[in-house]
Amino acid sequence: MTNGSPRRSAGNGETAHKHATITFRHTIPSEQFPAERDRYVLYFHYGCPWAQRALIVRALKGLDNIIGLVELDGKDPVKGWEFTGVRGPERDPYYGVKYLRDLYLRANPHYNGRITVPVLWDLKNETIVNNESSDIISFLYNAFDEFLPLEDRESNKPDGGFRPPHLIKEIDAFNNWVFDTVNNGVYRIGFATTQQVYDENIWKLFNALDRLEAYLGEPGHSPYLFGERITEPDVRLFTSLVRFDCAYYTIFKCNVKMIRHDYPNLHAWLRRLYWDESDRTKGGAFMKTTNFAVIKAGYSRAFGGQHAIVPAGPLPYILPL
């Protein structure tokens, strides 16, 4: 969930409907930003699907004790993401500031781009390493592996890990297509300002969902998108589909079909990830990073302001397996 418009570039060649200025695109490890324990902090909001990508990968990789986590639990209509003390801290625990924009300006006093989450912050250099979710998850996969048990390191996984080398070309093409049609597609629909724009994108979205439904029914694409193991595309698609019935269907007017009623394969895939609390998901990486109440309230307020009425349903927010 950004500041009320389709998302910027999401990496790997993806191009968003609108392109915002991005000045923080550093990587780890690098000379300026080596991999170190307790040096980096991930700032996030539970309502944002792009931030949830990073939360899920941090959890799946077991980086809880290596990379810090700070929740921004509110959004001021003028100053943007903020600390309110309702769920998270009243102020930033490291610098005492009230708004995420203060950290952006601390990193670069001349910054004039959008204030977005997630943000990966370097406590040593006191600056933003990166604020692009695709970049962040790309180096979280292996940048800190030296601090992990041998079995959790990407190079030691017999299946190739979250981005198996023999599938990278196929995975990147899949990610780009999903970004354009689904991840960013729902934003083009939700924030459409003309009937023509809405009509062009609503059918593009549901054609993509139809294709994904068929794809999951094909040999080799079950129980996860690329077979027996969770890979990066599962993370990227999950954050959109877990929001679909409870937010996009109603608030974004993506109301041609629902995941729970009209897409049995996608529905099973979504619930399989959400309800998994096994070692495969490090005890529930997908479930524990999903907060339906925050998601519904956040999207409602994006249109109706701080006092927006939040729809009650659907109930339950996600069905059991």
Q: Is 218 annotated as a binding residue?
A: no
211 is in an annotated binding site: no
Query: Known binder of ligand: residue 115?
Result: yes
228 is in an annotated binding site: no
Give strand pairing partners of 121. 41, 128
57 is in an annotated binding site: no
48 counts as catalytic:
yes
Say if residue 128 carries a ligand binding annotation.
Answer: no
Q: Is 232 flagged in the annotation as binding?
A: no
Cα angle, residue 116 at apex, residues 114 and 120 outer, rounded to 5°: 125
Q: Which residues contact 69 (CB under 8 A, 6 or more apart)?
A: 41, 42, 44, 55, 58
- Which of the following is catalytic: 40, 43, 46, 48? 48
Give CA–CA dist 243/295, Å, rounded: 7
Does residue 187 have an active-site annotation?
Answer: yes
* Buried/exposed 127-140: b ≥16 CB within 10 Å, e otherwise: bbbbbbbbbbbbbb
Catalytic residue among 99, 104, 187, 263: 187
One-letter amino acid identity for 125? N
Looking at the annotation, which residues are catalytic?
A: 48, 187
Binding-site residues: 81, 114-117, 132-133
Binding-site residue numbers for glutathione are 81, 114-117, 132-133
